[in-house]
Amino acid sequence: MPEHQDRVQLRSARTPEEVRAAIASVETALASDDLPQLKKSVTKLDQATLLLADLMMDAAMEAVLRQRRIEYQAARELSARKFRSKVKLAEAEAYLEVAKAG
């Protein structure tokens, strides 16, 4: 549960303005050829976009899980009608379990 609380705090801590400011900071540092400042700015941008990366990963994992459920259901139906082997059904089930494990 602490991990979930950390994610909730992370989500509430970042705003689009913070991301835009971090991008502007990177652009300024690039224009000035100041390597230490660029490193700091890139680190801030990484931190500011953690939420976006987290949300994108969640969405991708949910999409994979939905797809695996559809594939497994189709494999079950085809197997019940003897159009698909038990091996292929087991394979679809294994892929579904992997997707559930995330």
Successive 10-residue mean pLDDT values, the chain, 102 residues = 52 74 95 95 92 92 98 97 96 97 90
Q: Residue 90's pLDDT is what?
A: 97
Instruction: List Cα–Cα distances, 88 to 65, 74, 81, 85, 99, in angstroms.
Output: 18, 11, 13, 5, 17
Q: Residue 68's pLDDT is what?
A: 98
Q: Residue 1's pLDDT is what?
A: 46
Residue 65 tokens read as 């899980």
Q: Residue 73's pLDDT is what?
A: 98
Instruction: List Cα–Cα distances, 97 to 59, 71, 78, 80, in angstroms.
Output: 18, 12, 19, 20
pTM of the model: 0.63
Q: Residue 16's pLDDT is what?
A: 84
Q: What's the burial of 5, exposed, middle or buried (CB within 10 Å: 0-12/13-18/19+)? A: exposed
Q: How far apart are CA 102 and CA 100, in angstroms?
A: 5
Q: What are the two backbone dihedrals, phi and then psi, of residue 12, each rounded to the nearest 5 degrees?
A: -80, -15
